[in-house]
Amino acid sequence: MTDEERLARVTLSRVLEPGDETGGRWVREYGAVAVARRLVDGGDPLPGVTYTRWEGLRGRAALVRPERDLERAGEAGVRYVCPGDGEWPAQLDDLGDGRPTGLWVRGRPSLRMWALRSVAVVGARACTEYGAHMAATLGAELAERGWVVVSGGAYGVDGAAHRGALGAGGATVAVLACGVDRPYPRGHTQLITRIAEQGLVVGELPPGDHPTPSRFIQRNRIIAALTRGTVVVEAAYRSGALVTARAALRLGRFAMGVPGPATSGLSAGVHELLRGEAVLVSDAGEVVELVGDMGELAPERRGPVLPRDLLDPAARRVLSALPGRGTATADVIARGAGTTGDDAIGRLYELRALGFVERHGDGWKLTRQAMISVHEGHGRC
Amino acid sequence: MTDEERLARVTLSRVLEPGDETGGRWVREYGAVAVARRLVDGGDPLPGVTYTRWEGLRGRAALVRPERDLERAGEAGVRYVCPGDGEWPAQLDDLGDGRPTGLWVRGRPSLRMWALRSVAVVGARACTEYGAHMAATLGAELAERGWVVVSGGAYGVDGAAHRGALGAGGATVAVLACGVDRPYPRGHTQLITRIAEQGLVVGELPPGDHPTPSRFIQRNRIIAALTRGTVVVEAAYRSGALVTARAALRLGRFAMGVPGPATSGLSAGVHELLRGEAVLVSDAGEVVELVGDMGELAPERRGPVLPRDLLDPAARRVLSALPGRGTATADVIARGAGTTGDDAIGRLYELRALGFVERHGDGWKLTRQAMISVHEGHGRC
């Protein structure tokens, strides 16, 4: 990833609307640098758009100052993660030409690592108390099982799912339909700030951009593509949460639905989904049974773990702070690693995704595989 | 069906327990008459049972007075319907050696005709208000669409389904796990009496017999086999209603479930079913879409109708009482046919199963096919 390429992608992230597959095709065929240059410097329209539309894109491009954008984002704790970066979540490539040019990210953990073991929990804004209860419980119980809870930061089901995960000391990611520096909805400013501190806030729109109806719809494809599956908690007919679930199915992910009373309009959309390919789930155990690895329910994780040498130094310090036997809380591990509790939790979820550690209630411990790799002389650092 | 065969089957219905497949195999291999004679007159045990068990069956057989049984049943308005009788519902033959030796029937309508377009609605005895509401609504709406509602006459979901159908002036069948002359549970004496007056009460146990746990379980296979599909409204884990639904699946019928809150233990069994082969249904329309004929949702029924000459005289009188155009209520039709309202409703459901009439709200009208057969000169009688 050259600086030139990154700057070109910043430009495109300000010019192209989310999910613009014509723009995505240009980037695939000519490269981001050539497309951005053609838009900024002028020239004949690229194929697939009218002259008027092309001029509209050029008008946007003329105003972009990508260096300044990156600098200001950096000052606000926001980074731009592009395809080719180490932090890029490869599963977004499944979106084909609808793949975002990049994602703006707020928060310490690695998006790529967190996305590996993540599930989306989404649903109605105007949910019932039952829906809020189910979303919060799923959020908490998925987090307790070491899963990252992804949602859209909205009122209702989304907020309850995020709060459930946060309340369990777990990992959660909010995918916004606007700039990650501008919490939307405004009433969730505190929640989204807390997610950025303890987890991740991501979005494809550059800092300062507003949400629009089509941006909400396009945001849903990111949630679907990032995660192993999407759980819809409550949704009326034609709800955006159903769009996310259908996108998940199209992308080969799991779609799941929480049942509710047949008399509830806010469960009608979920039930429609359950009459199709979606799977009915009543609790986090059933979600994990579906999206988890083979043998996920067994206490020990199978398979080889990554060599420690490939971990970044901060992750290695956290790993070293785990006790040789038994569990320790994230706070104890943070003190041992000389970092903050939030940072330690982020690293622990990454190490969990890589098979080094597992969570037991409030504590964390080395997996059997991680212990074996010590005995085999890979060494602790 | 000879008198000797019928009397032999009455004897067997007092001697063999419901679902006894060894006894069923004897009947298939040697015939009911030979098996009954061997049990009554004595002789070596038939294959597949111990000597002790055989002596137990012989002890029962010694006490049976089949002529007296039939006579007393007739006085109480109960008839014995056997395989080979015109009223025998052929779909019970799918039970193989578990097929009942016969069914005791109370009520005017033809069990065979009614079973043709029937759906089971079953569920928990100790249901919630939500479950009772859903069962009553399904019962009423299925009846309004011309479907016969079959259930077990129990408290809770079963009773609500029967009452829903009765309240809509519709057709309902209670399948009991005891003699049809002894309403069980006692608290449903009035309900079961009303079902016998307006619909049918059936069971494989002879008059006077008590229910037992195994008889309840075996009764469920009759409900599953009689109907085109079984809807479970509410059921805890290990509920008998799940036995009915699984029997339906084994017999190639549809199993359906009404969703409820994931937090409700009384929906947990239904949700377990919905995670398997059962289909989620929220209303009668979705049930009919599944179990109905092709094009069931279309206003007109397709396909040829039976020649009127094959109808029995009482059904022909009711058919003649329908107006040439437009609808009439069951009461008006009953007056025209010179019979009671209950009898007319029974006949109308039979005629519905045969494609002659259809129901519209409170009224009944001739189908297009029935009208065509008039124009083609088949004649009204």
pLDDT tens-digit profile, chain A (381 residues):
899 999 999 999 999 999 999 999 999 999 999 999 999 998 889 999 999 999 999 999 999 999 999 999 999 999 999 999 999 999 999 999 999 999 999 999 999 999 999 999 999 999 999 999 999 999 999 999 999 999 999 999 999 999 999 999 999 999 999 999 988 999 999 999 999 999 999 999 999 999 999 999 999 999 999 999 999 999 999 999 999 999 999 999 999 999 999 999 999 999 999 999 999 999 999 999 999 876 555 434 344 445 676 677 888 889 989 988 889 999 999 998 888 888 898 889 888 888 889 888 889 998 887 776 544 444 333
Which of B260, B271, B283 is facing A261, going by the closest CB pair?
B260
Tell me whether A290 touches chain B (CB under 8 Å).
no
- Across the beta sheet with A148-151, the strand order is A78-81, A103-106, A200-203, A172-175, A148-151, A118-122, A229-232, A254-257, A279-280
Tell me whether A274 touches chain B (CB under 8 Å).
yes
Angle at A174 between CA A169 and CA A175, to 5 degrees: 160
Query: What is the C-alpha to C-alpha distance for residues B37 and B40, in angstroms, rounded to an integer?
Result: 5
- Across the beta sheet with B357-360, the strand order is B328-329, B363-366, B357-360
Task: Give the H or E element holding residue A145.
Answer: none
pLDDT of residue B139: 97
> Rounded to the nearest 10 degrees, what angle do helices B51-62 and B32-41 cross at?
90
For residue B155, CA distances in Å to B125, B241, B284, B345 come to: 5, 13, 21, 25
CA distance B165 to chain A (A): 19
Closest residue of B to A284, CA-based? B262
Q: Which residues of B9-31 are buried (b: 16+ CB within 10 A; e: fewer)?
A: bbbbbbbbebbbeebbbbbeeee
Tell me whether B263 touches chain A (CB under 8 Å).
yes
Residues of chain A contacting residue B261, judged by C-beta atoms under 8 Å apart? 130, 259-261
Residues of chain B contacting residue A281, judged by C-beta atoms under 8 Å apart? 262
Tell me whether A134 touches chain B (CB under 8 Å).
yes
The two tokens of residue B255 are: 């199993």
pLDDT of residue B181: 93
Phi, psi dihedrals of residue A65, rounded to the nearest 5°: -120, 85
CA distance B166 to chain A (A): 22
Query: What is the C-alpha to C-alpha distance for residues A315 and A337, in angstroms, rounded to an integer?
Result: 9
Kindly report the number of other CB atoms within 10 A of residue A10's CB atom.
Answer: 26
CB pair distance less than 8 Å for A262 and B133: no
CB pair distance less than 8 Å for B282 and A262: yes
Residue to mutate among B280, B281, B287, with most A CBs inside 10 A, is: B280
Query: What is the C-alpha to C-alpha distance for residues B362 and B360, in angstroms, rounded to an integer?
Result: 6
Tell me whether B279 touches chain A (CB under 8 Å).
yes
CB pair distance less than 8 Å for A134 and B259: no
CA distance B88 to chain A (A): 35
CA distance A199 to chain B (A): 28
Residues of chain B contacting residue A271, judged by C-beta atoms under 8 Å apart? 259, 280, 282
For residue A19, CA distances in Å to A215, A221, A222, A363 come to: 9, 8, 10, 41
Tell me whether A129 touches chain B (CB under 8 Å).
no
Contact B131, B156 (CB under 8 A): yes
The two tokens of residue A380 are: 């602790």
Contact A204, A13 (CB under 8 A): yes
CB pair distance less than 8 Å for A261 and B286: no
The residues, any chain, with a CB within 8 Å of residue B144's CB and separated by 6 or more, are B168, B170, B284, B359, B361
For residue B362, CA distances in Å to B141, B163, B170, B173, B287 come to: 12, 17, 10, 20, 21
Query: What is the C-alpha to C-alpha distance for residues A247 and B82, in angstroms, rounded to an integer?
Result: 55
Beta bridge partner(s), residue A357? A366
DSSP three-state, residue B186: helix
The residues, any chain, with a CB within 8 Å of residue B350's CB and separated by 6 or more, are B109, B110, B113, B114, B315
The residues, any chain, with a CB within 8 Å of residue B325's CB and separated by 6 or more, are B365
CA distance B345 to chain A (A): 30
Phi, psi dihedrals of residue A80, rounded to the nearest 5°: -110, 115
CB pair distance less than 8 Å for A259 and B280: yes
Domains of chain A: 3-104 (no CATH), 107-291 (3.40.50.450), 308-378 (1.10.10.10)
Query: What is the C-alpha to C-alpha distance for residues B300 and B297, in angstroms, rounded to an integer?
Result: 8
> In this structure, are strands B148-151 and B118-122 parallel, antiparallel, or unpaired?
parallel
- CA-nearest of B141, B143, B89 to B112 is B89
Q: What is the pTM of this model?
A: 0.82
> Rounded to the nearest 10 degrees, what angle do helices A313-320 and A330-337 cross at?
120
Residues of chain A contacting residue B134, judged by C-beta atoms under 8 Å apart? 262-263
CB pair distance less than 8 Å for B130 and A279: no
Which of B133, B263, B274 is facing A274, going by the closest CB pair?
B274
The residues, any chain, with a CB within 8 Å of residue A20's CB and separated by 6 or more, are none
Which of A262, A268, A286 is facing B258, going by the closest CB pair?
A262
Task: Give one DSSP letter per residue of B264-317, joined into a string.
Answer: -HHHHHHHHHHTTT-EE--SHHHHHHHHSPTTTTSSS--S----GGGS-HHHHH
Query: What is the C-alpha to C-alpha distance for residues B93 and B89, in angstroms, rounded to an integer?
Result: 8
Contact B206, B17 (CB under 8 A): no
Residues of chain B contacting residue A283, judged by C-beta atoms under 8 Å apart? 262
pLDDT of residue A376: 43
Which ranges in A279-377 belong to alpha helices (H)? 284-291, 313-320, 330-337, 341-353, 368-373
The residues, any chain, with a CB within 8 Å of residue B182's CB and separated by 6 or more, are B207, B208, B209, B210
CB pair distance less than 8 Å for A262 and B263: no
pLDDT of residue B371: 76
The residues, any chain, with a CB within 8 Å of residue A88's CB and separated by 6 or more, are A81, A82, A111, A112
Q: Which of residues 140-179 of B touch A (CB under 8 A)?
A: none
> In this structure, are strands B229-232 and B254-257 parallel, antiparallel, or unpaired?
parallel
Which of B259, B260, B275 is facing A279, going by the closest CB pair?
B275
Residues of chain A contacting residue B128, judged by C-beta atoms under 8 Å apart? none
Residues of chain B contacting residue A286, judged by C-beta atoms under 8 Å apart? 275
Tell me whether B267 touches chain A (CB under 8 Å).
yes
Enumerate residue ranges in chain B where pLDDT < 70: 294-307, 309-310, 372-381
B31 Ramachandran zone, left/alpha/beta (phi>0; psi -120 to 50) = left
Residues of chain B contacting residue A280, judged by C-beta atoms under 8 Å apart? 259, 271, 274-275, 280
Length reported for chain B: 381
